[in-house]
């Protein structure tokens, strides 16, 4: 090989080496760019994962302060800022309220604000000389990133800030434009969650108001009344709306209320009535009945379904009355007595009124007879009376203690009604005595109806001796003595005809 050939080979080799070195350098630059891009991508991915975790956490909280705290904690974790603020617009357009903060020693309740600072709705990186940071010297911020968010109507609602203070600037990486994309997403998600909470709060507030209104309405018109009329709301009821039903009607009346109210005055009488009703009303609700009307010192309750419920209710009401009277005696007040009458049958339930003023009511002989039956408790000295129509609708008569008292024709009716006394409503001692003499009472009643008044009188007197609290037996002793002295007509049936209500 000649010297010229050697020189040419050297130059070629040197060119190849130079080319290889250039390619290696270019490849190294590319690798470094890829590493930087990967680092940037990793940071962005970390931030978006933090945002996803933040959204998941916020979806499970209804507490406003907790939501604001979670928002700021997520910013610190995702962006590694030193401080963060959650600011809300208030009544004054030139001030923002500090709703939550992170990383500050002390923050004022509100900060100065110029709407021009949030003209754009995306994130912006602010240096120390920016008017916003200059207006907030107490925060001592060297750098910040801010992004506004809107309320449910699209109006400015507040902004979220992440920042680095002058004192700690050298310990934190500077905030750069690369933070803007993820920070905007974070704040927009926070704003969306904020709007969701606003809407939820409005819905909850409206629902609470609806519940309050519904509960208020139900104090005047029971839910059961609406259900029976197949109406969703009281607003759906019109005058004349009615339905034909088979129901049981319970009347309860306070004995001697007029002289009681005269003695204690009107205000105390109202207070007394409310205490009494509060004592006995739960028994009606627990038996699936509802009070259809308050009638001064009386009430009318309705029961759908089998007639077992009103009988159970009547016994429970008497039990509550005894507890109520025990409290009155402790206060030095006199005990009160009530009478309860129950009848069952067809009736019309509906809304009655002229249009502007409506009332729930029942129409029909069933309710009238229930009222007459209650009034007869005074005559027979019984706590609770019910009719044969009610007994026919009792699903399990063996579950009750009762006895037949009389067959009567009340004023306004031609057909006789069989009356029964609910012994379960009596105090235990009285109930025990009446149960012990029930068969004797039944034989006495049979003799009375057969016209064997002397035999009946002796039997009723025996009932009185064994059951001193049996006032019905005493009533029949008087009737028997009268019929012995003045025998009735030959067509005697033993049916009592009552010519007054």
pLDDT per residue of the chain (501 residues) written in tens, 0 to 9: 565 555 556 666 667 666 766 665 555 544 444 444 445 445 656 666 766 667 666 666 777 788 888 888 888 888 889 999 999 998 888 999 999 999 998 899 999 999 888 878 788 999 988 999 999 999 999 999 999 988 878 888 899 999 999 988 888 889 988 888 888 888 888 877 777 776 777 777 776 765 555 555 545 556 565 565 455 544 444 444 556 778 899 999 998 888 877 787 888 888 888 899 899 999 998 998 888 887 878 898 999 889 999 999 999 999 999 999 999 999 988 889 999 999 999 987 765 555 554 556 667 889 999 999 999 999 999 999 999 999 999 999 999 999 999 999 987 778 899 999 999 999 999 999 999 999 999 999 999 999 999 999 999 999 999 999 899 999 999 999 999 999 998 889 899 888 665
Nearest to 233 by CA among 243, 247, 251, 218: 218
**Residue ranges of domains in the chain:** 58-203, 244-424, 427-491
Residue 36's pLDDT is 47
- Do the strands 402-409 and 496-497 form a parallel or antiparallel pair, or are they unpaired? parallel
What's the CATH number for 58-203? 3.30.450.40
H or E segment and range at residue 125: strand 124-127
| Reported pTM | 0.60
pLDDT for 376 equals: 95
Q: Supply angle C-alpha 248, 252, 254, rounded to 5.
A: 175
Tokens found for residue 227: 């259900």
Do 336 and 325 contact (CB within 8 A), yes or no? yes
Return all residues near 34 (Cβ < 8 A) that are at least 6 apart: none
Give the Å distances, CA to CA, from 261 to 252, 258, 274, 281, 296: 17, 5, 13, 21, 11
Transcribe 192-249 into DSSP letters: HHHHHHHHHHHHHHHHHHHHHHHHHHHTTS-HHHHHHHT-SSGGG--TT-EEEEEEEE
Angle of helix 438-450 versus helix 453-466 axis, rounded to 10: 160
Q: Report the DSSP pairing between strands 242-254 and 338-353.
A: antiparallel
Confidence (pLDDT) at 251:
95
**HSE of 494, CA atoms in CB hemisphere, 13 A:** 16
In this structure, CATH architecture of domain 244-424: 2-Layer Sandwich (3.30)
In this prediction, residue 182 carries a pLDDT of 82
Q: What is the pLDDT of residues 183-240, one digit of tens each?
A: 888 888 887 777 777 677 777 777 676 555 555 554 555 656 556 545 554 444 444 4
E strand or H helix at 127: strand 124-127
């Amino acid at each position: 090989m000649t010297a010229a050939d050697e020189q040419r080979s050297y130059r070629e080799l040197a060119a190849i080496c130079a080319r290889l070195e250039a390619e290696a350098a270019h490849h190294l630059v590319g690798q470094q760019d890829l590493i930087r891009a990967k680092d940037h991508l990793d940071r962005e991915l970390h931030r978006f994962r933090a945002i996803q975790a933040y959204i998941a956490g916020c979806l499970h909280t209804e507490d406003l302060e907790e939501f604001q705290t979670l928002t700021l904690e997520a910013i610190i974790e995702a962006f590694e800022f030193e401080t963060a603020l959650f600011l809300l617009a208030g009544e004054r357009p030139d001030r923002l309220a500090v709703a939550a903060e992170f990383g500050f020693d002390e923050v004022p309740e509100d900060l100065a604000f110029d709407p021009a600072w949030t003209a754009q709705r995306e994130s912006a990186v602010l240096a120390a000389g920016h008017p916003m940071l200059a207006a907030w010297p107490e925060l001592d911020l060297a750098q910040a990133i801010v992004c506004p968010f809107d309320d449910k109507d699209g109006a400015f609602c507040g902004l979220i800030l992440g920042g680095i203070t002058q004192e700690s600037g050298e310990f934190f990486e500077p905030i750069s434009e690369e933070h803007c994309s993820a920070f905007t997403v974070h704040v927009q998600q926070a704003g969306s969650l904020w709007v969701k909470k606003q809407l939820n709060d409005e819905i909850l507030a409206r629902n609470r108001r609806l519940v309050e209104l519904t509960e208020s309405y139900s104090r005047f018109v029971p839910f059961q009344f609406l259900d029976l009329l197949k109406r969703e709301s009281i607003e759906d009821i019109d005058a004349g709306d009615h339905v034909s039903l088979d129901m049981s009607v319970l009347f309860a009346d306070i004995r001697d209320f007029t002289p009681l109210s005269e003695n204690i005055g009107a205000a105390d009488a109202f207070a007394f009535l409310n205490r009494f009703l509060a004592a006995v009303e739960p028994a009606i609700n627990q038996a699936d009945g509802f009070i259809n009307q308050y009638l001064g010192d009386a009430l009318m309750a309705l029961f759908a379904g089998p007639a077992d419920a009103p009988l159970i209710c009547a016994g429970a009401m008497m039990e509550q009355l005894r507890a109520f009277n025990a409290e009155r005696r402790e206060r030095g007040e006199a005990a009160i007595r009530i009478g309860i009458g129950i009848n069952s049958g067809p009736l019309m339930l509906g809304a009655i009124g002229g249009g502007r003023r409506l009332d729930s009511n029942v129409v029909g002989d069933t309710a009238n007879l229930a009222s007459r039956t209650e009034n007869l408790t005074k005559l027979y000295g019984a706590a609770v009376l019910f009719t044969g129509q009610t007994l026919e609708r009792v699903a399990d008569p063996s579950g009750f203690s009762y006895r037949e008292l009389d067959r009567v024709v009340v004023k306004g009716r031609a057909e006789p009604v069989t009356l029964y006394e609910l012994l379960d409503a009596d105090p235990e001692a009285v109930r025990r005595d009446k149960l012990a003499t029930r068969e004797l009472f039944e034989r006495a009643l049979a003799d009375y109806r057969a016209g064997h008044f002397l035999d009946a009188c002796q039997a009723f007197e025996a009932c009185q001796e064994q059951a001193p609290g049996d006032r019905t037996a005493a009533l029949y002793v008087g009737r028997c003595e009268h019929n012995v002295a003045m025998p009735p007509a030959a067509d005697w049936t033993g049916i009592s005809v009552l010519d007054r209500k």
